[in-house]
Amino acid sequence: MESLAQQQRAPGHQNCKNGCNNGAPCCDGDKDHVPGAFKASEITIELTTSPKEKPDPSTLVFGSEFTDHMFIVEWSVKNGWEKPVIKPFQNIPIHPACSALHYAIQLFEGLKAYRGVDGKIRLFRPQMNMDRMSRSAFRMTLPPFDKKELLECIKKLINVEREWVPKSTDASLYIRPIFISTEPSLGVKRPSKAALYVILSPVGAYFQSGAFNPVSLWANPKYVRSWKGGTGDRKVGGNYGNALFAQYEAQDAGCQQVLWLYGEDEQITEVGTMNLFLYWTNENGELELATPPLDGIILPGVTRHSILDLATKWREFKVSERYITMNELLTALKENRVKEMFGSGTACVVCPVGTIQYKDKNLHIPTMENGPKIAARLLKEMVDIQYGRTESSWAIMVDSS
């Protein structure tokens, strides 16, 4: 029997039984059907009368140009979910006391639509984004939605905007779902009103002319991205704004991104807004691809998950979710056991690491000298799936029905 607070907070949800976050709350991933949730079949579409010119993908700055339409659906504790709407892209009128602006009761997702070599539009494992979004919503005390229905709504929006999906295997259409409280009062409380919307932004190639550019990292325990008992494993706004300052201190130190450390033993956890991988000969002499485990402080990235899946299928070396400390990394560098280090994320797929500034040392990571063999192979396998050169159940078609 759920308590009243539980029922009010999250109908259709319960504490996770899978122990995926050390007992922290989690949506029940098996429960797809949420009674009363909005449905894609009920969507109404209002088309713009003034469509914009499509930009040249090669000139695009990430996330600064948007398509002609957006998806929006609103919720209130009084009326539940309203009918979903696709309408012209426009400003949202927000109450000045809105608790998304005061208390960051907000979350987002990020995925992409790819136009394949066959001209068809694909998504890459979008169910994983829906699952994560549902878990983020539960943690933010936002109401549950039906993950399959939201995915259908996103497909409908992409179909409306299909001409915005770049006709290029270097570019894509970035999809940004966002779910915010629209509670118009100042008490720090579960929102009585909320809005979920999706916007689309055409994006160009992450690496210009196909060449990897390795990044320089700033490793300093002064700033900590997330911590046990916090929200580091959910894609919520507070994780990003609160980490922003460190990014600029990294730049002041002449580095491009932050290598986030954690704990007394200085575990290496994430890179900027990406997950982190180390390909090395580990302390036992085994060839290993390693990434930190999902212990509550790591964002469960879709690309991270896919890298683990692919490398495991290869059966060529050990694939591990394990802790790696700065000291272990320093020892491995001294003993020439490090082969590649790279970040992973939706934007770049993989992003090689070239140097790490740590205390008074400037550590050289030989990622580029080693190919990077594994990073490049992972990139190619995933991009081939995304652009339809390889058949895979990971590619979900956006049909134009």
Within 80-109, which residues bind a second copy (CB under 8 A)?
Answer: 89-97, 99-106, 108
DSSP one-letter code for 151: H
CB of 315 to a second copy, least distance (A): 36
- Looking at this protein, which amino acid is placed at residue 197? Y
Crossing angle of the two packed helices 147-160 and 126-139, in degrees rounded to 10: 120
Which residue, 11 or 230, is less far from a second copy as judged by CB? Answer: 230
Which residue, 3 or 49, is less far from a second copy as judged by CB? Answer: 3
Which residue, 116 or 301, is less far from a second copy as judged by CB? Answer: 301
Site for a second copy in 219-258 (CB under 8 A): 221-224, 227-231, 236-242, 244-245, 247-249, 251-252
* Using rule CB under 8 A, residue 300 touches a second copy: no
Selected binder of a second copy within 69, 115, 190, 193 (CB under 8 A): 190
Binding residue count for a second copy, defined by CB under 8 A: 73
Element of type H or E holding 67 = none
Site for a second copy in 260-299 (CB under 8 A): 273
CB of 19 to a second copy, least distance (A): 13
- If one counts every other C-beta atom within 10 angstroms of the C-beta of residue 358, the result is 20
Site for a second copy in 340-379 (CB under 8 A): none
CB of 393 to a second copy, least distance (A): 29
Q: Rounded to an integer, what distance in angstroms lies between the CA atom of residue 199 and that of residue 181?
A: 17
Cα three-residue angle 155-26-187, rounded to 5 degrees: 95
Selected binder of a second copy within 189, 361, 364, 373 (CB under 8 A): 189
Alpha-carbon dihedral sign for residues 307, 309, 315, 321: positive
CB of 10 to a second copy, least distance (A): 9
CB of 117 to a second copy, least distance (A): 27
Residue 219 gets the label, from left (phi > 0), alpha (psi -120 to 50) or beta, of: beta
Site for a second copy in 203-222 (CB under 8 A): 221-222
Element of type H or E holding 181 = strand 172-181
Which residue, 185 or 336, is less far from a second copy as judged by CB? Answer: 185
* Using rule CB under 8 A, residue 14 touches a second copy: no
Selected binder of a second copy within 11, 25, 51, 55 (CB under 8 A): 25
Stretch that binds a second copy, among 144-152, 177-185, 349-357, 379-387 (CB under 8 A): 177-185
Which residue, 258 or 365, is less far from a second copy as judged by CB? Answer: 258
- The b-or-e profile of 240-277 (16+ CB within 10 A means b, else e) is eebbeebbeebeeeebbbbbbbbeeebbbbbbbbbbbb
Q: Rounded to an integer, what distance in angstroms lies between the CA atom of residue 109 and that of residue 234?
A: 10
Residue 141 gets the label, from left (phi > 0), alpha (psi -120 to 50) or beta, of: left
Which residue, 80 or 241, is less far from a second copy as judged by CB? Answer: 241
DSSP one-letter code for 81: E
Site for a second copy in 135-164 (CB under 8 A): 139-141
Crossing angle of the two packed helices 302-314 and 126-139, in degrees rounded to 10: 130
* Using rule CB under 8 A, residue 302 touches a second copy: no
Which residue, 55 or 184, is less far from a second copy as judged by CB? Answer: 184
Stretch that binds a second copy, among 125-133, 134-142, 211-219, 332-340 (CB under 8 A): 134-142
Element of type H or E holding 380 = helix 373-386
Main-chain phi, psi angles of 273, to 5 degrees = -110, 30
CB of 311 to a second copy, least distance (A): 27
Residue with tokens 């600064």: 64
* Using rule CB under 8 A, residue 9 touches a second copy: yes
